[in-house]
Amino acid sequence: MTISEDKPFNWFPPLFLITLFQLISASFVVFDDGEFKYLTAATVMAYILVEWVYAIIASVAFEIRHLELELMGFFLSGIGIIICGSISESYAMKQGIAIGLGLIVYLIMLAILRRTDIVMKLRTPVAVCAVGILILNLVLAKTTNGTLNWIEIAGISIQPSEIVKIAFVFVGGATLDKLQMTKSITKYIIFAIACVGFLFLMRDFGTALVFFFTFVIIAFMRSGDIRTIALVCAIAVLGAAMVIFFKSTVAARFETYRHIWDDMYGKGMQQTRTLIYSASGGFFGLGIGKGMLKYTYAASTDLVFGMLCEEWGFIIAGTVVVTFAFFVYYAIKTARNTRSAFYAIVACAASGMLLFQMSLNVFGVTDLLPFTGVTLPFISRGGTSMLCSWGMLAFIKSADIHTYPKLSKTILPDHPLYPEDIPISFKRRRNVNG
């Protein structure tokens, strides 16, 4: 096994361009209506500061030279802040705090994922906690918008299923008795069924679908058994079809699918407005803050892709969605060269989840897929969604051997997750230069 030469990645020019992009787009919001919006301006400036501090510390103190993933995350999250700012200053501030928390979650996870012995110890408690959170959610939840997936603690709304997403990938990657045996899936299947089942009970079908898709990726990565996976999918599709057929409340959610224009002042309201205003934006957009879609319900959460198209233009909206495909591409590239299968699995699962959820959101609001109300990762307004997005990024990042340049000194070679035949041949450029 060979490891390709580490090509140096100079993060300075891209981060400079991203900063420029953020300053320009923020200026539309901050100076709009002739009044200077201090809170939004402060949030954006603080955010840009965090970007630079992170990049400098990561590259200088930790010798992490590959910052592509973080830069993509910064690019997407920055758009999210400015979209929030174009609606309300407090939204921008809250979103800024959410990104800060997301970064903290990201760093903590990177620290945990560095040590697979800790990962192995944590997998059972995490699985129990995840199921526990979902049960607690179901007990405490109040009905919001037809789903039960929000709980409120001390005046802050939390979407527990977003946090459970991180646990789902974590447990999926770590529940290994022996590497890549079909039977080792069993435990994970039980965990997966529990998660998806509770989400169904919460009537959060979008998230259930995201979980199921992630499960399929993990199960395939683990077993490689296409026939079993096909069977699982067939049973799931059949089951879902029966649920939709027998439960009228479920069917009602899908009845507008491909018929949104028949009920454009009722159930098709959100999607028709998304299409109307997205088309209005053209390639270059009508200008940030100049849109009309923002007055539609859930504009900055579910319909945020429409706001992007209308105000920022299809070029930027397209760049955003393509960025998610790059996450997956990065994971595939990284999986060639991980320290163990664990990292390949979590990187693929996390990136696949991000791309799938983004697709479900974007194609859902544009009526190519049923509208399920999942968020657009990194962009949609919302704290827990942001934590989950950065958590997913941590999984992809941890798989990259460049993330832990000093790991060879602290590795625990006797642990089963580190087969000795996989070398860690990461070459530190610093040493080359003396």
Partner 1 sequence: MDNATKRAYSLFAVIGGFTIGLLILIYSFIAHGSSWATNKANQHLYSNGTVSTFGDIYDRNDKALAVTVDGRRKYNSDSVIRKATLHAVGDLNGYISTGVQYTFRNTLAGYSPINGIASIVQYGKGNDVHLTLDAQVCRIAYNALNGRNGTVCAYNYYTGEILCMVSAPTYDPENKPTDIDNNPIYNGVYLNRAITGLYTPGSIFKVVTAVSAIENIPDINSRTYDCDGKYETSDGTVICNDIHNRVNFQQALNRSCNSAFADIALELGKSKLTETAKELGFNTKFSVNGVSDPSKSMFNVKKASKADLGWAGIGQYTTLVNPYHMMTIMGCIANDGIAVMPFLIDHIETPQGIKVPTKVSVSEDIHLAPATAKKIGEMLRSDITDYYGDGRFPNLQMCGKTGTAEIDDGQPHSWFVGYSQNQKTPYAIAVIVENGGTGLSAAAIIANTVMQAIK
Site membership for partner 1, residue 406 (CB under 8 A)? no
Nearer to partner 1, 334 or 375 (CB): 334
Site membership for partner 1, residue 282 (CB under 8 A)? yes
Cα distance between residue 406 and residue 411, in whole Å: 9
Residues 319-378 that bind partner 1 (CB under 8 A): 321-322, 324-325, 328-329, 331-332, 335-336, 338, 341, 344-345, 347-348, 351-352, 355-356, 359, 362-363, 366, 368-369
Question: Minimum distance from CB of 47 to partner 1 (Å)?
Answer: 28
Cα distance between residue 164 and residue 204, in whole Å: 13
List the one residue from 272, 385, 389, 403 that touches partner 1 (CB under 8 A): 272
Site membership for partner 1, residue 285 (CB under 8 A)? yes
- String of DSSP letters for 54-75: HHHHHHHTS-----HHHHHHHH
Burial class (CB in 10 A: 0-12, 13-18, 19+), 248: exposed
Structure tokens at 395: 């999984």
Question: Minimum distance from CB of 322 to partner 1 (Å)?
Answer: 8
Helices (H) and strands (E) in the chain, counts: 17, 2
Site membership for partner 1, residue 183 (CB under 8 A)? no
The single residue listed with the structure tokens 């909206």 is 317
Cα distance between residue 45 and residue 38, in whole Å: 10
Mask: binding to partner 1, 216-255, rule CB under 8 A, as x and -? -x--xxx-x-------------------------------
Interacting stretch for partner 1, rule CB under 8 A, among 3-11, 18-26, 130-138, 307-315?
307-315
Question: Minimum distance from CB of 282 to partner 1 (Å)?
Answer: 3
Nearer to partner 1, 2 or 249 (CB): 2
Backbone angles phi, psi at 178, to 5 degrees: -130, 150
Question: Minimum distance from CB of 280 to partner 1 (Å)?
Answer: 5
Quote the DSSP letter at residue 161. H
Nearer to partner 1, 163 or 321 (CB): 321
List the one residue from 91, 188, 215, 277 that touches partner 1 (CB under 8 A): 277
Contact 184, 222 (CB under 8 A): yes
Maximum alpha-carbon separation in the chain? 70
Contact 304, 83 (CB under 8 A): yes
Mask: binding to partner 1, 198-217, rule CB under 8 A, as x and -? -------------------x
Angle at 344 between CA 101 and CA 305, to 5 degrees: 50
Looking from the CA of 224 toward its CB, the CA atoms found within 13 Å total 4
Burial class (CB in 10 A: 0-12, 13-18, 19+), 421: exposed
Q: Which residues bind partner 1 (CB under 8 A)?
A: 1, 180, 217, 220-222, 224, 264-265, 272-273, 275-287, 290, 292, 295, 310, 313-314, 318, 321-322, 324-325, 328-329, 331-332, 335-336, 338, 341, 344-345, 347-348, 351-352, 355-356, 359, 362-363, 366, 368-369, 422
